[in-house]
Amino acid sequence: MSVKYTPVQWNANKYGYDLVLIGMVVLYILSFLNVAPMFLDHARPTDGPIVRARAFGTCAFLLLTIILCIGPLARLDARFLPLLYNRRHFGVLTSVIALSHAMFVMDWYFNFAPQSKLEGLLGANTSYGQVLGFPFEVLGLAGLICLGILAATSHDFWLNFLTPRLWKALHFLIYPAFAAVVGHIALGSLQSQDNSIFAIVVGLSTALVCGLHALAAWKERGCDKRGNADAGWIIVGDAGDIEEGRAKIIKLPNGDRVAVFRHKARLSAIANACAHQNGPLGEGRIVDGCVTCPWHGFQYRVADGRSPAPFTEMVPTYRLKLDQTTVLVDPNANEPGMFVEPTALPEHMQ
């Protein structure tokens, strides 16, 4: 979204995504409010605010788990890419639900404290030196602050202002946030429950998130081919291996990845990282003459790495040459947006 900060990219898919998301959250919370009290195993009926706090708390945890699973799932199977498309709205909704959980808790447990609610929350238990009895509320607060930062900086302005690199670094806060939330639940709610269903759900969710990340990293490691050098140029491979409208990704000695595209029997190379959120351009395809990022649909002309007007995003380009049918790339990146004449394939390969 580089052309003014107006909602130019809102479309039926995004509206549909958000409607389904909000519908599922409402359904979950209503179900929890009506069904969970029957399984809470309390001697007396549980108060409404406690059940509401639990409904929103469990909902936030499940949403956080799903958010963390979307990334690796999309790396493992392209059919999950549509979930990635609007993941930021998922994140904002999660932080709102987590905040609602915190408000219910504060309004119930600290409403009549002589000091402010926050002071009551932070001062009620200060046993930081022990595991059992650790002030788990602080872990929840830490997770909530992390989620708040992520939600507050989710607008595309922040990506452009902070740079994708710094924005991504900031958004890696999702991992300590998840760790804090797991600690908050394990040292809090799970310590006081006889019923082990929720402990099993938390354990399985944690294992799922960790397992999917490990699988995705394993797959990426297997696909990551490092190009061999030939007199300063890096060997990409045989030109015949690159499908029309698709790319081959190669890793340079400095760790950067280059996507070599074939379009209309000519080859061009651009950086593999999208200027928007560093999505893998080389896993996208050419649509209407432009490389299209598989994550959010940002487009770049293949010869100069520039987004078509009126958009202004750019990525670095690379020079290519052919040695018979072997494609070689110059590892020195050109300035972002610099035109490089595409390399024509030999006639017998066209």
Q: Residues interacting with another protein, by CB under 8 A? A: 2-6, 115-116, 118-119, 122-123, 126, 131-132, 145, 148-149, 151-153, 155, 157-158, 160-166, 168-170, 172, 175-176, 178-179, 182-183, 186-187, 190-191, 194, 199, 202-203, 206, 209-210, 213-214, 217, 255-256, 271, 273, 275, 278, 312, 315-316, 333, 336
Cα dist from 223 to 76, 123, 217, whole Å:
12, 51, 10
* Min CB(278)–another protein separation in Å: 4
Closest-CA residue to 292 (of 214, 335, 283): 283
CB closer to another protein out of 213 and 246: 213
Residue with smaller CB distance to another protein, 147 or 328: 147
Which of residues 114 and 232 has its CB atom nearest to another protein in the complex? 114
Nearer of residues 103 and 322 to another protein, judged by Cβ = 103
In the bound complex, what is the minimum distance in angstroms from residue 322's beta carbon to another protein?
26
Sheet of 285-287, strand order = 285-287, 290-292, 299-301
Going by C-alpha positions, the residue among 338, 289, 345, 303 that lies closest to residue 321 is: 345
Q: Which is nearer to another protein, 288 or 335 (CB)?
A: 335
Q: Give the residue with the Cβ less far from another protein, 35 or 43.
A: 43
Q: What's the min distance (Å) between Cβ of 38 and another protein? A: 20
**Shortest distance (Å) from residue 205 CB to another protein:** 10
Q: What distance in Å separates the CA atoms of residue 102 and residue 96, rounded to the nearest whole number?
A: 10
Q: Return d(Cα 266, Cα 340) in angstroms, integer.
A: 12
Q: Where are the beta strands (DSSP E) in 224-301?
A: 228-230, 233-238, 247-251, 257-263, 266-271, 285-287, 290-292, 299-301
β-sheet bridge partners, residue 321? 328
Minimum CB separation from another protein for residue 299, in Å? 16
Backbone phi, psi, residue 267, to 5°? -110, 140
CA neighbor of 330 nearest in space, from 266, 262, 268: 268
Instruction: For the CB of residue 315, give the shortest distance to another protein in the complex, in Å.
Output: 6
